[in-house]
A and B are shown apart, each in its own frame.
Chain A
Amino acid sequence: MTATLTMNDLTREAQTSASTPAATASDASEIAATTTPSVVAPDAVVATVAHVQRNEKTQLAARRRREALAGFVQSVVPGLVGVLLFLLLWQALSQTVSQFPGPAKVWDSAVKLFSDPFYRKGPNDQGIGWNILASLQRVGIGFGLAALVGIPMGFMIGRFTYLNRMTAPIISILRPVSPLAWLPIGLMVFKAANPAAIWVIFICSIWPMIINTAVGVQRIPQDYLNVARVLNLSEWKVFTKILLPAVLPYMLTGVQLSIGVAWLVIVAAEMLTGGVGIGFWLWDEWNNLVMEHIIIAIFTIGIVGLLLERLLIAVANRFKFEQV
């Protein structure tokens, strides 16, 4: 994809640069033609030169506009083509499979749904806005608690080899466990659906944060720690001026992975626990056989997940530093 883009850019560049000298050459001959009679007043020559310069300027601007347009076309058009093909495929599928709603029907339904996202008609019938917010709240709490526990734990594990060796077997065994396997334990302990769902988020988003933070601490270059040692910095200064900034990029990668996992898991957990939430809503609409809403739910989950990820990438980029 990138390769073809560059190729196109190159050919375009070649074409434009080939055409520009030709234009200037003809302009030059024009000047020559006008100046050949020796009686031409000097200010007339200046005027012609200015005219040519203006011409060149407008040409340059036009060229820039063309290039900007071409860049836009090249970056956006493939995406549009992809979406269009996807819609066509979806339309075709909806016509062959009975009950499967087509894009137009889903769009109409979505417009209706999102025109009133925050209504409440009883605990099991709330607007999609409330459902999304309920899911986000669960993710926020579970993920926040996981960060609160996981990041300090990662620091400790990274800093103390003994602790690392002590926890390594447990982490290795528990990390690959499917998130939903933790749900019964949550239900057993908390005897309620909502805390159980939060527990599942907590337990599955904690591992990337622990592991990435620990790796970050272990990979702090010895040089930085030597600086701390020769200056005899206090533990607090070592933490704030060296450990934390050095580990932050790793830590934020862990946070990014965690939030992705948390959002994946919340939908599944809510399907099982019920209540309010986008996952529960999706399952409820399946029970009501409103197929349009299921597809809307899928897109909503996808878009919210994408936004969460983008948000965290933006945060992470703020804290990146150039290695020297």
Chain B
Amino acid sequence: MSNSFHLVVDNVDKRFNTKQGEFIAIRDVNLRVERGEFVALIGHSGCGKSTLLNLIAGLSDASSGVLVCGGREISGPGPDRGVVFQNHSLLPWLTCFNNVYLAVERVFGATEKKPQLTARTEAALKMVGLTHAMHKHPNEISGGMKQRVGIARALAIEPAVLLLDEPFGALDALTRAHLQDELLRIVAETKSTVVMVTHDVDEAVLLSDRIVMMTNGPAATIGEILDVDLPRPRDRLALAENTDYHHYRKAVVEFLYAKQKRAA
């Protein structure tokens, strides 16, 4: 893997055809993500942050502009981008192990034998601390654990970019904090490149290297980009006393609630 692995979003527009005519969801979005960087997309709901993530994932196509991942233009979904969905999207008829194995087999099945695939799957589940629940079905584990399996599934395929779509949005505050800490550790361990959609200011500041703040839709675009220059490894207790942390937090809050105040 060379250093050329990064993500480029160039002059991207996304328009939808609706009954009322054309609806411009996002316009003129330009973004560059370095390898190993953690970028958060934040904005009010309906600002097109999930639309942008779906474009990067390849789940929908840009109306104009170009997206490049790892030197190749994005023309559809692919296993070079691992996606963690908000509602975990585990297949309920497969065990946690088999949910991850399905992804591992797809990506490495052509070049590796079964024991290696099994080892990869087990390693991914171990990383998210789920070795004990490996052979349980999704309905037998908690919401936080399901989301861990989702993360394990996305990471097990060793994607060039990890895409997280409000991954902790459906969890309670304590579980969310716990999983954020886990994610910090995992990202540090795997040196993953991450793009994460969130609406949680603390989450954005705690986790990311850069926070991309989006203006309100329609025709949403990137309003400001904030570099979060906090030393890693980050610790939420230490950061609570950190003045820089509060400075960054204030900047995001100001953007969201003063500059991009929602009419609703």
Chain A residues at the B interface, C-beta cutoff of 8 Å: 223-224, 226-227, 229-234, 237, 241-242, 245-246, 321-324
Known: A231-B103, A324-B139. 14 other contacts (CB 8 A): A226-B89, A227-B85, A229-B59, A229-B77, A230-B59, A230-B79, A230-B81, A232-B79, A232-B106, A233-B102, A237-B106, A322-B92, A323-B92, A324-B92
- Of B83, B139, B146, the contact of A230 (CB 8 Å cutoff): B83
Q: Which 10 residue pairs spanning A and B have beta carbons closest together?
A: A322-B139, A223-B89, A245-B93, A321-B93, A230-B77, A230-B83, A324-B138, A229-B77, A324-B139, A321-B92
- Interface pairs (17), CB distance under 8 Å: A223-B89, A224-B89, A226-B89, A230-B58, A230-B82, A231-B106, A231-B157, A232-B76, A232-B79, A237-B106, A241-B94, A241-B102, A242-B91, A321-B93, A321-B137, A321-B139, A324-B88
List the A side residues contacting B146 at CB < 8 Å: 324
Residue of A nearest to B140 (CB): A322
A21 CA / B57 CA spacing, docked (Å): 65
Cβ of B90 under 8 Å from chain A: yes
| Contact bitstring B85-124, A, C-beta under 8 A = 1, else 0 | 1011111111000000011001100000000000000000
List the A side residues contacting B79 at CB < 8 Å: 230-232
- A232-B79, A232-B106, A237-B106 known; A226 vs B59 contact (CB < 8 Å): yes
List the A side residues contacting B139 at CB < 8 Å: 321-324
Q: How many residues of B contact A (CB 8 A)?
A: 28
- A226-B59, A324-B139 known; A232 vs B89 contact (CB < 8 Å): no
List the B side residues contacting A324 at CB < 8 Å: 88, 90, 92, 138-139, 146
- A230-B57, A322-B137 known; A223 vs B93 contact (CB < 8 Å): no
List the A side residues contacting B107 at CB < 8 Å: 231
| Contact bitstring B133-152, A, C-beta under 8 A = 1, else 0 | 00001110000001000000
Cβ of B78 under 8 Å from chain A: yes
List the A side residues contacting B82 at CB < 8 Å: 230
Task: Name, among A226, A227, A230, A323, the residue most crowded by chain B CB atoms within 10 Å (CB to CB).
Answer: A230
Q: Contact: A223 with B92, CB < 8 Å?
A: no
Residue of A nearest to B83 (CB): A230
A227 CA / B100 CA spacing, docked (Å): 11
List the B side residues contacting A227 at CB < 8 Å: 85, 89, 91
List the B side residues contacting A233 at CB < 8 Å: 102, 106
List the A side residues contacting B103 at CB < 8 Å: 231
Residue of B nearest to A249 (CB): B93
A217 CA / B140 CA spacing, docked (Å): 25
A229 to chain B, nearest CB (A): 5
List the A side residues contacting B90 at CB < 8 Å: 324
B126 to chain A, nearest CB (A): 21
